[in-house]
Structure 1
Amino acid sequence: MTRDLDSAQRFYGAVLGWTFRGTRLGEAFRVAELEGVPVAGIGALAGDLSLAVSWTPYFAVEDVDVAVSRIRERIGTVAVGPVSFEQAGRGALAADPQGAVFGVWQGRILSDWRVGEGRAPAWLELRTRDAFDAAVFYGEVLEWASGRPGCCEVSYENEQVVLRHAGEAVARLDSGPVEEASAEPVRRPRWHVHFAVPDLAPALEAATALGGRVVREAGPQDGGRSVTLRDPDGALFDIHARGGGAAD
């Protein structure tokens, strides 16, 4: 979600090589594509919605009303929805008990794609106080490790709870020092979206040239390096070069 849809398209087009197309959700929403493959959605914030400019992961559910009930039963917070979008689906925006924001979505508006596959986002990472508590919350709300067809497996690897789909890691839950009341969003419990790039250097050069800035550089992980960036509108996101391209 962004305040300036045109500016966001220019920024992410230059940094990540995306192109954009419209959808049946209207003029305020665009699908980002990389070489014709959908990878993300960018929407313009409505004036009457007090939502933060941010990247938010949406998890597919079979019944959004059931998911919302589970969120509330487990001391999560539902901020928006469930809301119906004509012929596209129904969604809700929520926060887990530690305050990390996420969405749930029933239906499909894009082609059949998922995190970790092809040119889609490389993976999702939840930074929270207690990864095990978070895994229980999300596991019960989203039916992780339920054994149902098309679901996922949960394991503990390198001090992280790892969610895998078809054997590939798509999300990681990481315990660590977070500050729920911090004025700096990067230090609060939150979901980070990692986008893959061939090399960090040109992506960073494009980002800073267009008003973005580097927030932090992470150590080597998954055979590469990651950098957290803030776009000109304030949204945080991560870029990851699997080849380990230098950040300077």
Structure 2
Amino acid sequence: MTGLPGEPMGPIGPTSAEVSGAPCWVNLMTHDIDAAERFYGAVLGWSFRPTRLGPAFRVAEGEGVPVAGIGAQAGTFSVAVAWTPYFAVADADAAVSRIRERTGTVAVGPVRFEGAGRGVLAADPQGAVFGLWEGRVFADWLTAPRAAPAWVELRTRDAFAAAVFYGEVLLWATGESGCCDVSYERDRIVLRHDGRVVARLDGGPAQEASAEPVRRPHWHVHFRVAELDASVAAAAAHGGDTVAVDPSPGPEGRFATLRDPEGALFDVWEPPATPP
């Protein structure tokens, strides 16, 4: 629940109501924040700044733009070390009610962060963890061309059931100003905000009780990098490992799935030289 988008560490942009339903932040809960800084600084080229919440909470910046939060509180909140996306909502209380009505789980919140907004940590019916944010969001987070996450992706067993759940909770495709549009493309569900792809929902062989995190339903974050091979090598040099890597460029560029030293999964993406 730390390093949320209302932290006054960058230009504050629209309210969550104006980007309703869109991902507006990603956050890592870890045990060793200094080690996480070294790892992600090397792999993604980030720098880090403190927040007003104390030394256990940091905001990561890429090219001067706040891109993610990192907190050394995984043990305190008894949560797994993992990346979690936060979605913008106009009313956190109403969204929490919609989660519970649809058999999701609310673990924390709404928690008020004075002068910033309110946050919620929840899980969908298939067990994927996500967050909600009501308040101001960073102006550049959704539009930064290189520094912010490229998109977030839900890897789950039943993408259509998940789309119904998230669509009803986050009010996707309502036609109201600022909401997200949903389409079905290439066997996956695609979420767009203002014409830009911001999330995907993929169904597949996810297993609820699997001991391997990559196979459990979860939200997966894709980060842009300039050189994929350099990021993969930096991950190995700083205690991470590679779960999968594309050997050659495809029409959408190259991808690698990495695991940080504490087990958090994420993707790095090298865009194609010529956009598809």
2:139 corresponds to = 112
Gaps in structure 1 of 5+ consecutive residues: none
TM-score by structure 1 length?
A: 0.93
> Could you tell which deviates more after superposition, 223-232 or 39-48?
39-48
TM-fit CA distance, 1:150:
1.4
CA distance in 1, matches of 2:197, 2:60: 22
1:44 corresponds to = 72
TM-fit CA distance, 1:102:
0.3
Written as runs of structure 1 = structure 2, the 5 A alignment for 1:6-45 is 6-45=34-73
Aligned-pair RMSD on alpha carbons?
Answer: 1.7
CA distance in 2, matches of 1:18, 1:91: 24
CA distance in 1, matches of 2:166, 2:115: 27
CA distance in 2, matches of 1:150, 1:212: 38
1:235 corresponds to = 264
Asked if structure 2 preserves the Cα contact closer than 8 Å seen for 1:25 and 1:88, the reply is no
The one-letter amino acid of 2:238's match is L
TM-fit CA distance, 1:26:
2.7
Alignment: residue pair count: 243
TM-fit CA distance, 1:227:
1.0
TM-score by structure 2 length?
A: 0.84
CA distance in 2, matches of 1:124, 1:182: 21
Q: Tell me which of the two structures has the higher relative contact order, counting C-alpha pairs closer than 8 angstroms and 6 or more residues apart.
A: 2
Asked if structure 2 preserves the Cα contact closer than 8 Å seen for 1:25 and 1:86, the reply is no
SS of 1:72's equivalent? Answer: helix
> Could you tell which deviates more after superposition, 59-68 or 43-52?
43-52
Describe the superposition over 1:55-112 as per-residue Cα deviations: whole angstroms up to 9, x where unpaired.
000001111111111000001011111212222211111110111110001113x521
CA distance in 2, matches of 1:97, 1:46: 22
Identity of matched residues, %: 68
Residues 1:102 and 1:221: Cα distance change in structure 2 (over 3 Å): farther
1:171 corresponds to = 199
Written as runs of structure 1 = structure 2, the 5 A alignment for 1:136-215 is 136-215=164-243
Describe the superposition over 1:23-52 as per-residue Cα deviations: whole angstroms up to 9, x where unpaired.
233322111111101111111116432111
> Could you tell which deviates more after superposition, 88-97 or 37-46?
37-46
Gaps in structure 2 of 5+ consecutive residues: 1-28
SS of 2:84's equivalent? Answer: coil
